[in-house]
Amino acid sequence: MSGDPIVVAARRTPIATRGRGLAEVTVDRLAAPVLRAVLEDWAAASTPPHPTPTVAVADVVLGNCMGPGGNPARVAALLAGLGVEVPGMTVDRQCGSGLAAVIEAANAIRGGDERPRIAGGVESASTAPVRSVDGVPYDRAPFAPTGFPDPGMTEAAERLAAEDRIPRSRQDAYAARSRRRSLAAVADGRYAGELVPVEGVSGDELGASGADERVLARFAPLFEGGSVTGGNSCRVSDGAAAVLLVPGALRGVGVPGLALRADAVVGCDPALPGVGAAAAILEALGRVGGTGRTVADVAAFEIVEAFASQTIAVLDRIGVADGDVRVCTDGGALALGHPWGASGAVAVVRLFSRLVRGGAPAGTLGVAAASVGGGMGVAAVFEVVR
């Protein structure tokens, strides 16, 4: 396992609701500051410290779902000043894009390329172009072909709540808990080490994050007779996140990090895409070290909280309680927001803060995961190295 790629730096931008704090910032301008920041962090931590320009980055891989096209990863790399010789690749696995990008970069290192890579994700829902077919605008491309179920994510969350009999009260309680945890993290400064200011915005736009169950109960259901509401769903958001991965030989003595021990991407029923993360988590854990690990071995989970019903359904399937302190300990997307292509990378940044910046001992395991539109799940298992 000495050859496993290691995350040695992890940063993100503030996350803001679409049309608000980051509304005028395009994807390249969102991503560029975090690309620079992870290089600067690693340069400062290396022994001996080295000037950032000497770091030879092999590639920049970023997830993005609804951006302008034109390979935002390459555009952001140029804007960040990484040099014209540094290429870029943009990947789209919808809500799992940011984590898929990290896995893609890690696989290149596993394949024998001994150079560092930057990976993550970026989304500007505020500046995303309007797409159309024959002049008719549409909200999203199909997640599945004709003949397969193809629900929108909100519809799928409602269907999952009904299928799993997850009551409104349980969803609201989960969402309120996520918001309380996020406010506590802000008060304790637990986000500070990971945030990179962007064009005057320096902190997450938490909005009504203090809403408790009594406030959430006032939200009207999004579907008649349903249980999914604007209060127990995430906000569509803008933001970016990135990590720097290096092979073990380049990590440097005394530089802590997260070694990527195993990962998995799975498919599931397109009618219930919200459960994809569950199978991915269990499969990834089963691949750790050849003999596998279990949910009980994991100290920290970061699961993209697109909807309370969806997150609860995943936790039920892996045998973890709603309020388990290991899950999104500092709040998740229900509090911070969900910048689609970036959220999987935000999950890795959060693990880095919780485990590496938080001083967890070597050997501690963390899991990042996301369910994906169209019926997929992606997960990665990380281990603290010191």
CA–CA distances in Å: residue 106 to residues 31, 115, 292: 19, 11, 20
Residue-by-residue DSSP string for 286-331: HTGGGT---GGGEEEEEE--SBHHHHHHHHHHHT--TT-TTBSTT-
pLDDT attached to residue 181: 96
Residue 150 is assigned to a structural domain of this protein:
no
* Cβ neighbours, 10 Å, residue 18: 18
Across the range 42-55, mean pLDDT stands at: 65
The type of residue at 109 is: I
Residue 214 is assigned to a structural domain of this protein:
no
Residue 117 is assigned to a structural domain of this protein:
yes
More confident site: 135 or 169 = 169
User: Total domain count for the chain?
Assistant: 1
| CB proximity list for 153: less than 8 A, separation 6 or greater | 95, 273, 274, 306, 307, 373
CA–CA gap between residue 268 and residue 235 (Å, rounded) = 25
pLDDT attached to residue 45: 84
Q: Is the pLDDT of residue 48 over 70?
A: no
**pLDDT confidence bin for 2, thresholds 50/70/90:** very low
- List pLDDT tens digits, range 188-247: 999 999 999 999 899 898 755 567 888 899 999 999 999 999 999 999 999 999 999 999
CA–CA gap between residue 66 and residue 17 (Å, rounded) = 15
Furthest-apart CA pair in the chain: how many Å? 62
Q: What is the mean pLDDT of the chain?
A: 93
**pLDDT confidence bin for 47, thresholds 50/70/90:** low
CA–CA gap between residue 116 and residue 281 (Å, rounded) = 26
Beta strand extents in the chain (DSSP E only): 6-12, 16-17, 59-63, 88-91, 117-124, 131-133, 136-138, 237-246, 257-267, 298-303, 365-372, 376-385
Residue 25 is assigned to a structural domain of this protein:
yes
**pLDDT confidence bin for 251, thresholds 50/70/90:** confident
- List pLDDT tens digits, range 318-336: 999 999 999 999 999 999 9
Using only C-alpha atoms, the chain has a radius of gyration, in whole angstroms, of 19
Hey, which residues are catalytic here?
A: 95, 338
- List pLDDT tens digits, range 260-277: 999 999 999 999 999 999
Residue 211 is assigned to a structural domain of this protein:
no
Query: Do the Cβ atoms of 329 and 300 come closer than 8 Å?
Result: yes
> Helix (H, G, I), strand (E, B), or coil: what is residue 382?
strand
Residue 191 is assigned to a structural domain of this protein:
no
| CB proximity list for 49: less than 8 A, separation 6 or greater | 43
The strand pair at 257-267 and 376-385 is best described as antiparallel
Residue 343 CB-half CA count within 13 A: 33
Show the domain range for 251: 6-128+234-385
Q: Which of 92, 120, 102, 121 is nearest to 4 (CA)?
A: 102
Residue 176 is assigned to a structural domain of this protein:
no
Across the range 296-320, mean pLDDT stands at: 98
The type of residue at 46 is: S
As a whole number of Å, the end-to-end CA separation of the chain is 14
**CATH code, domain carrying 308:** 3.40.47.10
CA–CA gap between residue 78 and residue 96 (Å, rounded) = 25
**pLDDT confidence bin for 50, thresholds 50/70/90:** low
Q: What is the pTM of this model?
A: 0.96
CA–CA distances in Å: residue 118 to residues 93, 112, 164, 268, 355: 18, 16, 39, 29, 20
- List pLDDT tens digits, range 108-156: 999 999 899 999 999 999 999 998 889 898 888 889 999 999 999 999 9
Q: Is the pLDDT of residue 84 over 90?
A: yes
pLDDT attached to residue 54: 46
Q: Is the pLDDT of residue 52 over 70?
A: no
Residue 336 is assigned to a structural domain of this protein:
yes
Across the range 27-52, mean pLDDT stands at: 85
Residue 212 CB-half CA count within 13 A: 1
* Whether residue 48 has a cis bond before it, omega within 30° of 0: yes
CA–CA distances in Å: residue 99 to residues 186, 241, 309: 24, 10, 21
pLDDT attached to residue 248: 86
Q: Is the pLDDT of residue 53 over 50?
A: no
